[in-house]
Amino acid sequence: MTAASLYDAVVIGGGITGAGVARDLSLRGLSVLLLEKGDYGAGTTGASSWMIHGGPRYLEFDWDTTRLSCQDAGHIVTIARNLVYRVVFIIPVLPHDKNNIERMETAMEVYDRFQPLKKSHPHRRLTPAEALHVEPGLAPDLVGAVTMEEWGVDPHRLVFANVQDAVAHGARALNHTRVSELVRDAGKVIGVRYRGADGAETEARARVVVNASGPWSPEVAAMAGAHVELRPAKGIHLVYPHRISNFSITAESIDGRDLLMVAHGGFTLLGTTDDDFYGDLDSVDVLADEVDYLLQGFERVFPAIRDYRPVRATTGVRPTLFKWRRYEDELSRRYRVIDHASDGADGLISIAGGKLSMYRLMAEETADAVCRKLGHPSRSQTANRALPGNESDVVPPGELAARCGIPALAAMKLQSRHGSDAEKVLDEGGTSRLLCRCEPVTEGELIYATRHEQVRSLADAFRRVGIAAGPCAGAACILRAAEVVGRELGWSAAQRFEAARDFVRGAWLGRAPVLGHAGWAQEELAQGSMRGLLDGSR
């Protein structure tokens, strides 16, 4: 074991909250170590609806959450301009819906009061003919519709932009690094022991340890004999590799819940479920029943939904605060910063609950608690300070494309991930050849990600640059991606093949539950082109 280094704060958990806390603290001049057991944003954050939204649903029971959420969303869309885009929902009202059109419009009128906080437009009301004109895929028997505007975001890039900025301000960030123990001295938490990607055990001393591990936070707190009480809730999404509707659409599920079909940049997310979860957090499966539940809900408002081929399903567990005797949907999305000094674990602070749209505020309040403990008077700077790639305006994609010899679409996508740093990313890689053609991703970007963005596996590459995220699900690019990453990381030919096989096996867990007739046919073709990568796993 190597000698322990000393940090002001060690942050456990590299989801959006942990990354946000690390950034906030390092911008305040504190020394920070961020530890993530898997990859950044690979847990709850990546399995979200990819939205910075205000949560009109909470208007029924908690206006404060809606207000805070909209307020913080306003900050996020300002500091992460390249990562966000408008998502406009049509909320169709059908004859037997839970809410009639007047009630629905009332809710949107109330929500309009909060919309300026996040720089969104007010709602519109549409007649059935108008709704069918702008969204011809809707069920013809609708009685009207209202619209609602939110923001879409790439959560993987948002997490990494926070990590990147934390590192730029002196933090150390390690992925694939699991905390095995909280080091204690007379009850006080004084550091962590962790196992790195290379298997080496290391100890780091810290004046404060922050537990930002989302649904895993009870487990981490328990290492110090402390207590965090959550009511974890599982949610799944179906991913379609195209935009399949003009606008995003809401629907009502069989049990009266609100479902969302979110039209993102070039793909659609359909979700979500919300069920109490008692299983293994590291092995959450998607069930065929859950897939059918979502499709059934959407079939009512968008009858053609079953004609489309989903490419995979995602699943994650929300770290909802504990509450007895409430349906999952009615649980508050509030958060709590917990100082465990009263639990006999001084030096440990947990952040529990909350949602992606409020991550910055959650991080700020956690960082405030850390600073109070350290007697370090300082203010958060994250509300107005741009994330990397947003310091200046981007050049038009056509101009970047011409300069770098790539298609304009590839330039546009590159800018959506790296903002004004896009050209620097291409220069570093030294090649503008397209590697993943569906997304599209250049080989240069993958080289950059491997050198500078801690890509250690092909699943990390999927999160960082979107490799294999398109309609072919990696059939056309995964072996080439393994070559590129392997060359950078010094993998042998066998290791490269094994890495591709690992990726396909992992992806299969999310793919198998959504395959219909056309999906299985595609799988047969992919099986052929991938030269047996799937063998034995299906």
Residues near another protein, by CB under 8 A = 59-64, 85-86, 88, 102-103, 105-107, 109-110, 121, 124-127, 130, 133-137, 147, 149, 241-244, 246-247, 263, 265-267, 304, 307-309, 396-398, 401, 407-409, 412-413, 434, 437-440, 470-472, 475-476, 518, 521-522, 525-526, 529
Between 349 and 473, name the residue whose CB sits nearer to another protein. 473
CB of 61 to another protein, least distance (A): 4
Q: Shortest CA distance to 145 belongs to which of 132, 163, 154, 159?
A: 132
CB of 243 to another protein, least distance (A): 4
Q: Shortest CA distance to 339 belongs to which of 321, 365, 319?
A: 365
Asked if residues 500 and 482 have their Cβ atoms less than 8 Å apart, the reply is: yes
CB of 87 to another protein, least distance (A): 9
Between 101 and 174, name the residue whose CB sits nearer to another protein. 101
Please give the Cα distance from 435 to 41 (Å, whole number): 23
CA–chain centroid gap for 108, Å, is 26
Between 196 and 265, name the residue whose CB sits nearer to another protein. 265
CB of 321 to another protein, least distance (A): 14
CB of 433 to another protein, least distance (A): 13
CB of 60 to another protein, least distance (A): 6
Please give the Cα distance from 49 to 152 (Å, whole number): 8
The tokens of 263 are what?
């039209």
Between 316 and 470, name the residue whose CB sits nearer to another protein. 470
Please spell the DSSP secondary structure of 184-243, one letter per residue: EETTEEEEEEEE-TTS-EEEEEEEEEEE--GGGHHHHHHTTT----B--EEEEEEEESS-
Between 109 and 292, name the residue whose CB sits nearer to another protein. 109
Please give the Cα distance from 432 to 414 (Å, whole number): 11
Asked if residues 362 and 354 have their Cβ atoms less than 8 Å apart, the reply is: yes
Between 16 and 468, name the residue whose CB sits nearer to another protein. 468
CB of 189 to another protein, least distance (A): 33
In degrees rounded to 5, what are phi and psi of residue 153? -150, 150
DSSP state letter for 175: S
Between 194 and 302, name the residue whose CB sits nearer to another protein. 302
